Amino acid sequence: MYNSKITGLGYYVPENVVTNNDLSKVMDTSDEWIQERTGIKERRHVSTEEDTTTSMGVTAAKIAIERAGIDKDDIDFIVFATLSPDYYFPGPGVLVQRDLGIKTVGALDVRNQCSGFVYGISVADQYIKSGMYKNVLVIGSEVHSRGLDMTTRGRGVSVIFGDGAGAAVLSREEDNSKGVLSTHLHSEGQHAEELSLIAPGMGKRWVTDIIEDNDPNDESYFPYMNGQFVFKNAVVRFSEVIMEGLQKNGLKPTDINMLVPHQANLRISQFVQKKFGLSGEQVYNNIMKYGNTTAASIPIALTEAWEAGKVKEDDVVVLAAFGSGFTWGSVIIKW
């Protein structure tokens, strides 16, 4: 049996920087209000039609493939995690295959929102461990800004999210002491509506009826989040799934060299950091610059940490996420 190893990383964010002060001009909010609750100072929003969920993913993927030292035709499989696809269907996985000009490999779309990249890594890891594939491209990409309620009504959600993409190439590793040691995935659907976007959906209404209604007060087309409830669940599940991964591999919190949590809220990351007794140098956060980019947040943060020399050979790296679904998970890596 093989292990999988991250051999290439890349990310892309739009050039358009949107500060808290910018948001205060279109809704009743302030820089102080946003930073106190989330730790966010600014985020990126797409500003041209050229920036899409797929195109940003493609840009990040090109960087990751080059850094992996392989050709695009060495990619055996594509996993694309997003909650904001270009189209209702088909998903962006096949669009990446087309736009990169990769041979006709399989392409899988993962809809696990904030946990999407962790789920994607787990899928890629299992394919490689089984010997089925040698190189798997995993992408997390999101365009939130085109679907947010940019009014005071929606400020509790809209100030949090940003746009961006990250990608990783996972490759076969014959040294079983290196690479992805284990992944751990969970869900709790009873809380599905506490962090959700109900429409467009086909669960209860005909699309023709929705179009006919055209109700400007219909909030089901905008994301909803029960913030306090999500926060309380997140800090518990983050801690549980990180500890689960450490115990599986005979590790302790003191063995962690770098924790890269999903960038949901800086206060959640700080809570987890304190609980595990980690220093600021052992946890990588960039939500201050980019906001919550959902499936893209971990690969963007991991790439930045690696580029800054904060992730080194033989380091124990932990990825952890919690989000809509509820879903959560962790990845334990020996770099």
Sheet of 258-261: strand order equals: 179-187, 327-334, 316-323, 258-261
Contact at 8 Å (CB) between 196 and 223?
yes
Task: Identify each DSSP E strand in the chain by its residue range.
Answer: 3-12, 17-19, 42-44, 77-81, 106-110, 135-142, 164-173, 179-187, 195-196, 224-225, 258-261, 316-323, 327-334
Question: Could you tell me the sign of the dihedral formed by the alpha carbons of 200, 205, 208, 212, in that order?
Answer: negative
Neighbouring-strand partners of residue 18: 43
Q: Is 292 a catalytic residue?
A: yes
Contact at 8 Å (CB) between 162 and 39?
no
Residue 279 neighbours by CB distance under 10 Å = 7
Contact at 8 Å (CB) between 106 and 48?
no
Q: Which two tokens stand for residue 149?
A: 């309620």
- In the set 114, 135, 184, 285, the catalytic residue is 114
- In the set 257, 262, 265, 285, the catalytic residue is 262
- In the set 3, 135, 233, 292, the catalytic residue is 292
User: What does the angle CA 319 – CA 323 – CA 326 come to, to the nearest 5 degrees?
Assistant: 120
Q: Cα separation of 211 and 215, whole Å?
A: 9
Q: Is 114 a catalytic residue?
A: yes
Q: Is 286 a catalytic residue?
A: no
Q: Cα separation of 178 and 3, whole Å?
A: 7
Q: How many residues does the chain have?
A: 335
Residue 217, φ and ψ in degrees, nearest 5:
-95, 5
Catalytic residue annotation: 114, 262, 292
